[in-house]
Amino acid sequence: DTGVSQNPRHKITKRGQNVTFRCDPISEHNRLYWYRQTLGQGPEFLTYFQNEAQLEKSRLLSDRFSAERPKGSFSTLEIQRTEQGDSAMYLCASSSFDSNTGELFFGEGSRLTVL
């Protein structure tokens, strides 16, 4: 296991289409996070899971966004009826709740462009 893996790395879609991103965390990590990052800004928290339970969801996350982690391993983030404002880098990170450091391990991100 070499780290957090995200797919696809790049996605170009037309407004109104649905897109889905997948994140495979480090296998022994029980926490999984989704962040969104726009150009020149820091990562913005979207949601996180502990095992399969979604513990928190940002108020910024509209009902067009849904995330799942069905078996407590990989996670998907779906955006329905995409809008141009959804264009961003979507970052996934994982961590171990048992860790003393709370360090987040990030994937390389999935860049979404909505035309």
Partner 1 sequence: SQQGEEDPQALSIQEGENATMNCSYKTSINNLQWYRQNSGRGLVHLILIRSNEREKHSGRLRVTLDTSKKSSSLLITASRAADTASYFCATDRDNYGQNFVFGPGTRLSVLP
What's the min distance (Å) between Cβ of 16 and partner 1? 27
- We find the least distance from the C-beta atom of residue 100 to partner 1, in angstroms, to be 9
> Residue 103 Cβ, how far from partner 1 at the closest point, in Å?
5
Interface residues with partner 1 (CB under 8 A) are 4, 31, 33, 35, 40-45, 48, 56, 91, 93, 95, 97, 101-109, 111
Question: Own/partner pairs for 80-86, CB < 8 Å, 24+ apart?
Answer: 80/18, 81/16, 81/17, 81/18, 82/13, 82/14, 82/15, 82/16, 82/17, 82/18, 82/19, 82/112, 82/114, 83/15, 83/114, 84/15, 84/114, 84/115, 85/114, 86/112, 86/114
Closer to partner 1 by CB, 8 or 16: give it. 8
User: Which residue, 65 or 90, has its beta carbon nearer to partner 1?
Assistant: 90
Residue with smaller CB distance to partner 1, 14 or 28: 28
